[in-house]
Chain A
């Protein structure tokens, strides 16, 4: 079975450019999560969707970050304009059931390694 699919795997771009990260969750999963991983801050939950609806976006660092989930099989995380401090690995994960409600683990994609020059 296909796991969580993220694209691109690597992205290198210049400061100020718009960056769009994409995620296809596991079919049938109704919760989707975006995380950022850095050496300094570890793994941080940015936003959590349940049934395509954003439930908690308090982890989104700034207004430059936005995320959408137009349907059950696709989500995007956009950074506009990008800054060097946004450089990190961004993971998408999906699960069956929502936070606090489910006994299922989250399944992670391979991540997007983002470098902002």
Chain B
């Protein structure tokens, strides 16, 4: 079974700081997704990464994919309180879709 591991699981950071969330997966996949979930809410798609070296940016968030290392990163630049949420990475592999455990981000004013 494919495993998707995120770290850290919890992240508390000050506004204005930078940080990176890591997503490792255990087998070959060319598709990696990042989602955001606010407490008690649904999941919102952030990024779809489809190839080795893919980099996408939206606002203060930038995601990248290294398929050889089976690693994706979600980098947060100059965090603001509105980014507080849980961030999930997910991988699809042969008709299966696996989510990481999520990283709960708390940005303190």
Contact = CB atoms under 8 A, between A and B. Distances in A.
Interface of A: 33, 42-45, 48, 55-56, 58, 91, 93, 98-100, 103-111
Contact of A105 (B33, B98, B102): B33
Given A56-B96, A99-B95, A43 B88 contact: yes
Nearest to B50: A103
Interface residues of B, number: 22
Interface string B40-62: 01111100101000000000000
Contacts of A55: 95
B1 to A, nearest CB: 10
B92 interface: yes
Contacts of B93: 99-100
A45 B42 contact: no
A48 B97 contact: yes
Contacts of A44: 99
A107 B45 contact: yes
Contacts of B33: 105-106
A56 B2 CA distance: 15
A110 B37 CA distance: 11
A106 B42 contact: no
A103 B96 contact: no
A109 B41 CA distance: 9
Contact of B43 (A56, A91, A100): A91
B49 to A, nearest CB: 10
Contacts of B43: 91, 93, 108
A48 B45 CA distance: 18
B68 to A, nearest CB: 19
A45 B48 CA distance: 18
* Residue among A55, A91, A108, A111 with the highest chain B CB neighbour number at 10 A: A108
B70 interface: no
Contacts of B31: 100, 103
